[in-house]
Amino acid sequence: MAKKIFQIVVLCSISLFSCSSSKERVDKMSLEQLEQLMNLRLIEFSAESALPLLTTDVMKVNNALLSSRGDSPSRIMLDKGYYLKIRKDSSAAELPYFGEVRVANYDFGNNSNIIFSSTIRDLNIKNHKNKKLVVTYKIESGKDSYNIELDIFPSKSANLIINAVRRNQITYRGKVKFYNNLEDLQLRK
């Protein structure tokens, strides 16, 4: 009996040590490569999921509308085709919006997606603690202004955070793709 208990303790210990999290250092060279690619300013972010800022009202509406798809109010899986593009000094986006609008524009027939194609202002690129590249800029488009933050990781996965004047914040998760020339990356109007 004591032998079996000892074997169980040894197996549990091995399991715990093998499952413990290992803190991997991000390869600095890969972040430098990302920075070099980012300096070309030819990027496409493809959104895979949306994470709206959860308020009680957003949760109620999303629960009612999204439960049949298998999504949750805090994470909504997206169809392909939603993007944010950076092309030199311009940026364009077409992203679905799930959240509260703070200032209604009374354009009842228009969709509520985040859609813009405009000139970038105040572009800033930072290497954040050797873990990710943080790209921030501002966009003025029609009736709204957007503060954009794109966090790019060495795996080319990315988080896109959009703060708007008239809407609550929303975050998107997805992948980035870098291009070497303008012809490969076309902005949609």
What's the CA gap between 21 and 6, in Å, rounded?
Answer: 25
Query: Does residue 38 or residue 89 have the better pLDDT?
Result: 89
* 146: confidence class by pLDDT, cuts 50, 70, 90: very high
Cα-atom radius of gyration of the chain, to the nearest Å? 21
C-alpha count within 13 angstroms, C-beta hemisphere, residue 155: 6
Domain presence at residue 164? yes
| CATH, residue 85 | 2.40.128.410
Domain around 47: 23-183
Q: How confident is the prediction for the chain on average, in pLDDT?
A: 79
Domain presence at residue 17? no
Q: Are strands 121-128 and 114-119 parallel, antiparallel or unpaired?
A: unpaired
Domain presence at residue 174? yes
Domain total for the chain? 1
CB 45 within 8 A of CB 173: no
Domain presence at residue 28? yes
Domain presence at residue 189? no
CB atoms within 10 A of CB 32: 12
Say if residue 131's pLDDT is above 70. Answer: yes
What are the residues whose beta carbons fall under 8 Å from the beta carbon of 102, sequence distance 6 or more?
A: 166, 167, 168
